[in-house]
Homo-oligomer: A and B are copies of this chain.
Amino acid sequence: MEIPLSVPFLTTALTGPLQDLERKLLSQQAKIECWLRQQWRKDPPPLYSSVDLRNAGFKLAPVDTNLYPAGFNNLNREFFPLCVQAMQATLEALPAHVSTILLIPENHTRNLFYLESLSVLREILLQSGFAVEIGSLREDLTEGVEIASQSGQLLPMYPVVREGNRLLVHTQRGVFNPDLVLLNHDLSGAVPAILQGLEQQVQPPTELGWATRLKSQHFSHYQTIAEEFGGQFGFDPWWISPFFQRCHEVDFLTKKGESCLLAGAELLFAQIEEKYREYEIPHRPYIVVKTDAGSYGMGVMSASSVDELRGLNHKRRGRMASTKGGEAVTKVILQEGVYSFETVGEAVAEPVVYMIGKNVVGGFYRVHADRSPTENLNSPGASFRPLAFQQSCNMPDLQRADACSANRFYSYGVIARLAALAAGREQTAAKGASHV
């Protein structure tokens, strides 16, 4: 008999033998699920999230956790029943009753791929049995429009209107006064005034937007969780957690704060080298420098030595100096680089795992043919391969069948959920702060 797994059966790109970590996770599956259940009770996860993972074989770690995920269109369509079931359970668990939802997207509604994701997210909500309208914050939008997504799906979209402390939209069918404002807008830069002090429920809370959220805070919670989890299940937390440092007064153009960067990098390389020695890892350590607040994909660079960081040319400095919304980067996180030893075809790949509430609902590979195993793949030229449900993975024995790729994906689902738990703790902390 095959052994059923609690997360989708997915095919991973890695085919080598399982490493110690994966073996430990697989053999303690029931206890891990039980541990997670207890954690969610204290710190419920955010409404949805996507986690970028890197699998170096000796190490499997999250490198970014997105709380306003796009890319729903890259999920395998077989995952829809899971998405809908998870969305129903997650929205039903909110404190106040929800029947009607105003979905607020990013403003860059000329990106057809983003619109495709938005269209799929809207379908998940509709099929979950909620009334949904899309309300845009775009200031140039003065009346309802229909915008075509990449596949030609027409999305009705209305300008958001604030009346008192409520957000509304005026549709052809009348006023839509929603129970829930659902953000798919990452709030880079600042929380727009129109979203502040609403009496409606807002999910995820605006405190988790990039206006206030910091990657270093996320990874600080994650580090604590990795230590608790590693302690509980018997392994070095470093196997699942990247070292990091942060510098908060940096100006790449004027070199202000460079000493913090260089000292942080020095420390980070020393920490990684020690671990590489301990585990006899025959690779060269590297680090990744990125903006601490803001979307990933921009303002990201890899460096394989402190000197490389010191000797940045003007072009690379300029590239690091501003982010998505054009905001100047002053807060920076230096993160241990995690090699990606997964490939799809000839290209380097990293798995992206999607969660709705506590539930892993699918994932895909971000694939980049022009990048090396140390580079950021979330950049122009990346493509996406939906993970397929695993169809036939014969496992006569859980102990021996660990190299089976369905088994392997279980580990991805565990690590991704630990990252969602870290986001849950960010959320708890933000709530505590806002109640003080």
Q: Report the nearest B residue to A152, measured CB to CB.
A: B1
Residue contact B6 to A127, C-beta cutoff 8 Å = yes
Partner-binding segment picked from A27-35, A189-197, A232-240, A303-311: A27-35
Q: Which of B4, B34, B81 contacts A123 (CB 8 A)?
A: B4
Partner of A30 from B6, B77, B127 at Cβ < 8 Å: B127
Contacts of A126 in B (CB 8 A): 29-30
Contact among B6, B78, B81, B86 for A129, CB-based, below 8 A: B6
Q: Within 8 Å of chain B (Cβ to Cβ): is A220?
A: no
Size category of the binding interface on chain A: 35 or more
Which residues 151-168 in A have Cβ within 8 Å of B in the complex? 151-153
**Complex: how many Å from CA A38 to CA B265?**
55
Within 8 A of B (CB), among A100-134: 119-120, 123-124, 126-131
* Complex CA–CA separation, A82 to B126 (angstroms): 19
- Contact status A129-B29, CB under 8 Å: yes
Residue contact B34 to A78, C-beta cutoff 8 Å: no
Which residue on B lies nearest to A5, using beta carbons? B127
B77 touches A2 (CB 8 A): yes
Cross-chain contact B81 with A131 (CB below 8 angstroms): no
Instruction: Give chain B residues whose Cβ lies under 8 Å from the Cβ of A135.
Output: none
User: Which of B4, B36, B37, B119 lies in contact with A84, CB distance below 8 A?
Assistant: B4
Question: Which of B3, B9, B33, B81 is close to A6, meaning CB atoms less than 8 Å apart?
Answer: B81
Report B-chain residues with C-beta under 8 Å of the C-beta of A151. 1
Given A1-B151, A92-B37, are A30 and B129 neighbors across the interface (CB < 8 Å)?
yes
Bound state CA distance, A348 and B78, in angstroms?
28
Chain B residues lying within 8 Å of A88, measured Cβ to Cβ, are: 6, 33, 37, 358
Rounded to whole angstroms, the CA-CA distance of A77 and B411 in the bound complex is: 20
A245 to B6, alpha carbons, bound, how many Å? 44
Chain A residues 223-265 with CB under 8 Å of chain B are none
Chain A: interface secondary structure? helix
Q: Is A389 an interface residue when CB atoms closer than 8 A count as contact? A: yes
**Interchain CB contact under 8 A, A120 and B78:** no
Per the bound structure, the CA–CA distance linking A29 and B80 in Å amounts to 15
- A33:B128 contact, CB within 8 angstroms: yes
Q: Is the CB of A359 within 8 A of B85?
A: yes
Is the CB–CB distance between B84 and A6 below 8 Å?
yes
Q: How far is the CA of A33 from the CA of B359 in the complex (A)?
A: 20
A123 to B30: give the CA distance in the assembly, Å: 10
Contact of A77 among B4, B80, B81, B120 (CB under 8 A): B4
Determine which of B78, B80, B127 lies in contact with A78 in the assembled complex, contact meaning CB atoms within 8 Å: B78
A42-80 to B contact mask, C-beta < 8 Å, 1/0: 000000000000000000000000000000000001101
- A127 in contact with B29 (CB, 8 Å): yes
Bound form: Cα–Cα A7–B84 in Å: 8
Residues of A within 8 A of B (CB): 1-9, 29-34, 36-37, 77-78, 80-86, 88-89, 92, 99, 119-120, 123-124, 126-131, 149, 151-153, 358-359, 389, 391
15 A–B contact pairs at CB < 8 A? Answer: A4-B77, A4-B120, A5-B84, A6-B80, A6-B127, A6-B128, A6-B129, A7-B81, A9-B81, A33-B130, A37-B88, A78-B78, A78-B389, A82-B82, A89-B89
